[in-house]
Amino acid sequence: MTFVWPTSHVGMLHPLAAIGSKARTQGVSFLQMADAAAKGRSYDEVKGAFGDVDHATVETRKSLYEELGLLYVPRHSGTLHLTSVGRQLLELLGTDPPADPSPDLRRQVDSLLCWAMTHTQINRPQSYGTPAITADERAHCDIRPYAALWQAMFELGGRLEFNEFSSVLAHVQKVDEFSPAIRMILEARHTGKLPNASAKSGNFGIYWRAHASVADAVLRIDDGTFTFGAGREDLLRSILQFQMGCEGDDVAAAIKSRSWTDVKNYYDFAGQECPTFIASGQVTVVSFAGQSVVMLKSYALQKDASGYFVDAGMELCALKIGMPCFHSSELTRMLRVDRKTGQGNSKIRVRLGLGRPINDSIQLLQLWGDQ
């Protein structure tokens, strides 16, 4: 098992990390470089504008931004290109992110970073990362590593031991090897026997822990185990769900790489714009009377001859048929998901039937936020 997933040889960025942290420094550096790209400045100009930061460090940071699909500099061009998702981050934060950001702003930034990272491919035209793999291995690898890692966590009960990642998952080169790798990890949890990991430097663990956790903002790492951070499991589920399609069962669609013809063609995919519903928040699920109820607060409840419906993005594909829902426009009956149909342009219509009567709507309205 010589093939192993490479990643940038530098810590992860996060513009809203603690003041003075390396992740914040990296994040602010990205925003400054993104601002320069938006203003049409050259990469050579930017390298000279970071004061006491040497050019080699700037180059290393730029390599990370390229890996994440936020900006890129085509080789030998000297031209900075800001991707669509990179521009979304710049427009959201500017070049001076707040020291005490709100939970909503943190969620938006995490959403944009995770969206970008799910489109990162090992088979990419530049910024290859370490440890080094051969050109042939890269060309034949069709895995999107961060998407595959996060999807693996869902299939493994919400946790992933780092030694399970480094011994098994990080060696998956083809999408058709993904499910067997999951089975191998599950079996090893019963037998206690994992394959021996190939030799890797200690930095492999340092950088993958930082990147996969998005600088500890999305995953937690306790005693060598990845788990979902508070409020971030649904965020990752929605991002992966969107890429799997409305039935939510096409895992390959979320973790398989795309072919590309040149650097621009690659970044058109890797740096694509994050859909508004992911960038701005998700539908709320609350516990009411012993069951999970979807609060359709950000959706207009509409009615026609066939009954109630809401029009939404692909985020509502995750709702199961029969799932209870509530909308403040209907206070006498619970709603339930009856049918989901595609509307084109990544939109769906969710048909809602009437569920059980609501005897007292006060608690539901309190959960809704109107009382």
The CA distance from 189 to 6, in Å, is 25
- What's the chain's average pLDDT? 89
Where is 59: in which H helix or E strand? Answer: helix 55-67
Across 209-218, 235-244, 326-335, least confident range = 235-244
pLDDT of residue 371: 43
With contact defined as beta carbons under 8 Å apart, do 20 and 64 qualify? no
From the list 342, 360, 153, 125, the residue with the least C-alpha distance to 255 is 153
What are the strands of the beta sheet with 347-357, ordered from one edge?
284-288, 291-295, 324-326, 333-344, 347-357, 307-313, 302-304
Q: In the predicted model, what is the mean pLDDT of residues 195-220?
A: 85
| 82-124 pLDDT, tens digit each | 999 999 999 999 999 999 999 889 999 999 999 999 999 999 9
Burial (CB count within 10 angstroms: exposed 0-12, middle 13-18, buried 19+), residue 220: middle
Q: In the predicted model, what is the mean pLDDT of residues 224-243?
A: 87
The secondary structure of 293-352 as a DSSP string is EEE-TTS--EEETTEEEEEEEGGGGGSPTT-EEE-TT--SEEEEEEEEEEEETTEEEEEE
From the list 41, 28, 30, the residue with the least C-alpha distance to 8 is 30
What is the pTM for the complete model shown? 0.83
Q: In the predicted model, what is the mean pLDDT of residues 287-309?
A: 87
Instruction: Check the CA dihedral 220-221-226-227 and report its sign.
Output: negative
Q: In the predicted model, what is the mean pLDDT of residues 354-359?
A: 91
The CA distance from 114 to 211, in Å, is 10
pLDDT of residue 87: 97
From the list 130, 116, 148, 157, the residue with the least C-alpha distance to 256 is 148
pLDDT of residue 174: 97
From the list 60, 56, 50, 54, the residue with the least C-alpha distance to 10 is 60
The secondary structure of 173-233 as a DSSP string is -SGGGHHHHHHHHHHHHHH--PPPPPP--HHHHHHHHHHHTTTTTSEEEETTEEEEPTTTH
